Amino acid sequence: MRSADTLETETSNAFRLPWLSMLACLLMLAVVCVLSVINGAAGLSLRGLLTALLDLIPFVNLDPSLTELHHNILMRIRLPRLVLGLLVGGSLGMAGASYQGVFRNPLADPYLLGVSAGAGFGAVLVIGFGLDLGWGPFGSVPVAAFIGAIAAVSASSAIARGSWSSPATLLLAGVAMASMFSAAQTYVLQKLSQTRAREVLSWLFGQLNTSGWQQIWVLIPYMAVCGMVLLAHCRHLDVLRVGDDEARALGLNPARSRLIIIAAASLLTAAAVSVSGLIAFVGLVVPHIVRILVNNNYRVILPLSAVTGAAFLAFVDIGARTLVAPSELPVGVVTAFIGAPFFASLLWWGRGIRP
Amino acid sequence: MNDVVLSCRGLTAAHNGHKALHDVNLDIVKGEWLGLIGPNGAGKSTLLRSITGLVSHEGIVNLADGRCPTPTDVALLPQNPVLPVGMTVAEYALLGRTAHIGWLSRESREDRQIVSAVLQRLELTKLTGRPIVNLSGGETQRVLLARALAQQASTLLLDEPTSALDIGHQTIVLELLEELRHTEKLTIVSAMHDLTVAAYFADRLALIHHGKILAHGAPEEVIDAQLLSEVYETPLTVRYIENHILVLPKTHIIENSKAASTRPQSPTNPIRKEA
């Protein structure tokens, strides 16, 4: 007879989480954050950074070793930009993993249901016609992009009405909507003057520009709520992997899970797109990198996609800021330039892709 | 009826647009093994799926207490289960706990312990960390059973549980089911193709044809050569060997070899049985 102790150890062995890999990801994130803050047009010292950060903690007073100028750069430019990069990268990574799970399709990415085309169309309209839609700390372009993104996803869902239980219809509706919105976007773009068109294009390529902290304070709770909803549903993503029929026989309502997960992931993506433009690649590839490196369980994939996406975008943004200094590269271009070869090498040396 | 756990009354269901079940009345008795037999497309799978609630249907499917069955009452083992790439045996078995976990909650320690106890029970402990797609057919079938047992439903519905297995693994799986039926106090309903095997393992058989139950009762009552020959549209013959029912195709070769069975057979020249 086996004792209760053996059962206990067997239980913990069977459901062991890859703590080491998870810690490694967090460590990587921390390293990237530090690198991102100290690298840039004006180099900051690591010691100066640490004293400045420790000084922020209440009741800790340290002599700042940064000059006033460097301190301002750190607090008003570097840190907000880093945090924005982390938020956007994390959102895209997590939304990508959720979409891939919900659609059971390794090619799914957060822009699948027309978020990108809708956001692009919104941005083109506002930039092209100089509309003023500003709200709170957000300028007209983010607001228009957000509205466009939500409109496109809603349209896709409306077309595929009632087919939350057949993801293929929704997916195709998304393709239709995306094509329509990008056609509209291209049409308007063509009508614009060169300078305005250039402005639109640089937005479309994706960038992490932020004017201070105000946007971020609004984004953090919003993204946190969406992220929590997705994390609360990652068990559902694992159940959905056996297909809708079996999921239902096991006691899950696949349509309801899918509706909630798609809604949360789309809201997350729309917010990310509205402040950063269309940063390709992160949402598609980060979840696959996590799968190859760690394991295939959504309880691990979802949070680690957020961490890895955040670290990846923050890392790539260092390149976008410094490679052609003093000017900047669109971060969306650099993500693909750095990410694609890395992903390709993982595919080449690794075990291939798994949905 | 004594101890009916689940009853269907006037069950009518459609599959892919055409009616797959017509007015089916069926009682499932606690602790029995009910075998569903019938040709391909007769409605066996649709009946199992209607009981599980996967197919919209007319008529009544009720438990003894009048409720509709939920995943904590009936566990369905599909004929062709989806085996997600990269999912481990333990994670897959844990899916069986889905109905016991709240919408937003995660599996508790108890859920995990139930799963590992089931894995232990089915001697899968060594395989817990293995991806399910790497398992053999017999192992996969045991992992499916583990998922169903983790569901802790008192009735197991099995759709062709052994159709992909060789006779050795088929016997192991069915004997395991028979054993579990007694130790875990389960009721088993299984659709089965092999009539001989169905008659051997099931307490009761229900013959389904064109969505209707043509006959049900003890195997010796249902397994009737004339009835089966009509239903399967091919001549069949029924033999008894030591009180076990044997259903065989009635072809010339078998007929001619009647005498052959009394002849000593040379091992180097075995008689081919396939017609």
pLDDT in tens, B56-97: 889 989 998 889 999 999 999 998 899 998 899 999 999 999
Residue B199 has pLDDT above 90, yes or no: yes
> Are residues B104 and A245, on separate chains, in Cβ contact within 8 Å?
no
CB-based contacts of B80, cutoff 8 Å, min separation 6: none
Q: Which of B98, B124, B158 should we substitute to test contact with A (largest number of A Cβ atoms within 10 Å)?
A: B98
Residue B29 and residue B163 in one domain:
yes
- Distance from the Cα of B9 to chain A's closest Cα (Å) equals 21
> For residue B28, is it within any domain?
yes
Query: How many whole angstroms separate alpha carbon A94 and alpha carbon A108?
Result: 12
Domain boundary among B128, B152, B176: B152
Residue B227 and residue B166 in one domain:
yes
Q: Which of A282, A127, A277 is nearest to A206 (CA)?
A: A277
Tokens describing residue A290:
């996590």
What is this model's ipTM?
A: 0.84
B116 touches chain A (CB under 8 A): yes
Residue B43 and residue B164 in one domain:
yes
Residue B208 and residue B171 in one domain:
yes
Domain boundary among B101, B121, B152: B152
Per the structure, the count of domains in chain B is 2
Instruction: Determine the 3-state secondary structure of A73 from DSSP.
Output: helix
B69 touches chain A (CB under 8 A): no
Query: Backbone dihedral region of A104: left (phi > 0), alpha (psi from -120 to 50 degrees) or beta?
Result: left
B95 touches chain A (CB under 8 A): yes
Of B98, B119, B125, the CB nearest to A250: B98
User: How confident is chain A (355 residues) per 10-residue block, as mean pLDDT?
Assistant: 67 81 92 89 78 78 76 86 94 94 87 88 85 78 88 88 76 91 90 84 80 84 94 93 92 91 92 87 90 84 95 92 82 85 80 53
> Are residues A296 and B84, on separate chains, in Cβ contact within 8 Å?
yes
pTM of the model: 0.87
- Judging contacts by C-beta atoms under 8 Å, the chain B residues touching residue A10 are 116, 119-120, 125, 128
pLDDT in tens, B203-256: 999 999 999 999 999 999 999 999 999 999 999 999 999 889 999 888 766 566
- Judging contacts by C-beta atoms under 8 Å, the chain A residues touching residue B153 are none
Residue B57 and residue B159 in one domain:
yes
Residue B214 and residue B89 in one domain:
no
Of A232, A241, A295, the CB nearest to B84: A241
B134 touches chain A (CB under 8 A): no
**Does an H or E element contain B198, and which?**
helix B195-201
Q: Which of B80, B87, B111 should we substitute to test contact with A (largest number of A Cβ atoms within 10 Å)?
A: B87
Given CA atoms A128, A132, A133, A135 in this order, what sign does their dihedral have? positive
Residue B46 and residue B175 in one domain:
yes
Which residue intervals of A277-352 are DSSP H helices? 282-293, 298-322, 331-349
Q: How far is CA B187 from the centre of its chain?
A: 11
Query: How many whole angstroms separate alpha carbon A88 and alpha carbon A82?
Result: 10
Q: Number of H helices and number of E strands within chain B? A: 9, 11
Domain boundary among B106, B135, B152: B152
Who has greater pLDDT, B120 or A324?
B120
Residue identified by tokens 């297909």 is A243
Which residue type sits at A282? V
> Are residues B54 and A245, on separate chains, in Cβ contact within 8 Å?
yes
- Distance from the Cα of B110 to chain A's closest Cα (Å) equals 10
Of A245, A251, A297, the CB nearest to B99: A251
Q: Which of B134, B130, B186, B197 is nearest to B162 (CA)?
A: B197
Q: Could you tell me if B143 and B89 are in contact, meaning their C-beta atoms sit under 8 angstroms apart?
A: yes
CATH code of the domain in which B210 resides: 3.40.50.300
> For residue B56, is it within any domain?
yes
What CATH superfamily classification does A88-349 receive?
ABC transporter involved in vitamin B12 uptake, BtuC (1.10.3470.10)
In the prediction, which pLDDT does A12 show?
78
> Are residues B112 and A7, on separate chains, in Cβ contact within 8 Å?
no
In the prediction, which pLDDT does B256 show?
64
Residue identified by tokens 């069975």 is B261
> Are residues B119 and A248, on separate chains, in Cβ contact within 8 Å?
no
Range of the domain at B126: 81-152
Residue B52 and residue B162 in one domain:
yes
Residue B95 and residue B164 in one domain:
no
Residue B201 and residue B163 in one domain:
yes
Dihedral pair phi/psi, residue B214, rounded to 5°: -85, -35
CB-based contacts of B105, cutoff 8 Å, min separation 6: none
